[in-house]
Amino acid sequence: MQAVILSEYGPASKLELKEVEKPFYNDDQVLVKMRAAGINPVDTKIRAGSSGMCAKISLPVILGFDLSGTIEAVGKNVQEFKIGDRVMGCVGFPGLGKTYADYVMAEPVHLTLMPENIDFEEAAAVPLAGLTAYQAIHDHLQVKSGQRILIQAAAGGVGHLAVQFANLAGASVSGTASEENLDFLRELGVDQPIDYKKTKFEDAVDELDAAVDAMGGEILYRTLRSVKKGGRVVCLPSSTKDDPVAIKLAKEREIELIWPLMYTDKKQMQHIASLLEQEKIKVRIDKVFPIEKVVEAHQQIESHHTTGKVVIV
């Protein structure tokens, strides 16, 4: 089969499409014939060697966590799935799911059936970003009806899903994006779209109940100053974890500051799939690349000008 191989850390050009052996699956696993794989910022950080996960990785490796495809083979102990089922999921995290390939071995607990009304590209775009967003809104921020929440980078892969989960929870949502994405934010249901290039978000919002920060650093500090005493802030980039300035500022303002680590949760993934099926949420795909252009897909993510998600097929 074909797979994208990373033999040494570095720029996107280090990714190579090669012929490798099909993965082995045991009695408790399934083999998935891949149709699409989502590309996430964490993939580019692992490839560059800047992720903390790299300490546990031995090169060469196949990258990727998000998948959609069909069940090709089923271990004899697996009852939940059958050959031909259309599935989606996030596999391997925080190890490696190895989804940049024609076939993937997976544990059934990391998969769920795809809704009939979405295609493979949409299904592959959802899992990691969807779980990250869902857990930020519900597990960590515990957003409730009537609360006011700010979502930074609200047009991004995690951001645009977090907006929708916050809306469904009954919150009033403010979101930052560039001017060209403000209409997209309105489509998602953002009550207060903020052009971060023209407006300092802290001049537009204050005394927030909660916020999702996608940047860290100065953006995080300014976000903390916009949240009221007793509020909560989730900071997504793990590379900013334990920032002493942020911790001090949060303590002074009596704000709970959380750096979450996404975890795979089958019930949550099934719930997200149900919301997609009911068309209560939607996923935006910015660009779809063939697997032969995975280098360009990584470069697109690293441009930081992506609206929604990037997928390879």
CA dihedral for 11, 53, 43, 57, sign (positive or negative): positive
Q: What's residue 304's pLDDT?
A: 85
**DSSP letter string, 153-199:** TTTSHHHHHHHHHHHHTT-EEEEEE-GGGHHHHHHHT-SEEEETTTS
Please give the backbone phi and psi of residue 151, each rounded to the nearest 5 degrees, phi first: -120, 115
Q: Do the Cβ atoms of 301 and 287 come closer than 8 Å?
A: no
What's the confidence (pLDDT) of residue 196? 93
Stated pTM of the model: 0.94
Fold agreement between 2-126+283-312 and 129-258: no
Distances (CA, A) of 168 to 9, 145, 290, 297: 40, 9, 34, 31
Cα end-to-end distance, the chain, whole Å: 14
Show Cβ contacts of residue 215 under 8 Å, excluding neighbours closer than 6 positions.
152, 153, 237
- Domain residue ranges of the chain, discontinuous segments joined by +: 2-126+283-312, 129-258
Q: What fold does the segment set 129-258 form as a domain?
A: Rossmann fold (3.40.50)
Instruction: Look at residue 237 in the predicted model and tell me its pLDDT.
Output: 87
Q: What is the pLDDT of residue 239?
A: 82
pLDDT at residue 194, as a whole number: 97
Q: What is the pLDDT of residues 163-221, one digit of tens each?
A: 999 999 999 999 999 999 999 999 999 999 999 999 999 999 999 999 999 999 999 99
The upper half-sphere exposure of residue 116, i.e. CA atoms within 13 Å in the direction of its Cβ, equals: 0
Given a contact cutoff of 8 angstroms between Cβ atoms, the answer to whether 43 and 62 are in contact is: no
> CATH assignment of 2-126+283-312, given 3.40.1260.10, 3.90.1150.170, 3.90.180.10, 3.40.50.970?
3.90.180.10
Instruction: Read off the pLDDT of residues 262-291 as tens digits, 9 standing for 90 and up.
Output: 999 999 999 999 999 999 999 999 999 999
Per-residue confidence (pLDDT) for residue 305, from 0 to 100: 85
The CB density around residue 26, as the number of other CB atoms within 10 Å, is 11
What is the C-alpha to C-alpha distance for residues 67 and 120, in angstroms, rounded to an integer?
9
Residues 6 or more apart whose Cβ sits within 8 Å of residue 77: 27, 28
Strands, DSSP E only, in 196-266?
208-213, 227-235, 256-258
Q: In 3D, which of 113, 61, 52, 60 has the Cα closest to residue 82?
A: 113
pLDDT tens for the chain, 313 residues long, are 999 999 999 999 999 999 999 998 999 999 999 999 999 999 999 999 998 888 888 999 999 999 999 999 999 999 999 999 999 999 988 777 899 999 999 999 999 999 999 999 999 999 999 999 999 999 999 999 999 999 999 999 999 999 999 999 999 999 999 999 999 999 999 999 999 999 999 999 999 999 999 999 999 999 999 999 999 999 998 888 889 999 999 999 999 999 999 999 999 999 999 999 999 999 999 999 999 999 999 999 999 888 999 999 9
Q: Distance of alpha carbon 271 from its chain centroid, rounded?
A: 16
Return the SS3 of 313. coil
How far apart CA 212 and CA 197 sit, in angstroms, is 18
Strand bridging mode 111-113 / 86-90: antiparallel
| Whether 230 contacts 254, CB under 8 Å | yes
- Residue 172's DSSP bridge partners are 148
CA distance 96 to 29: 16
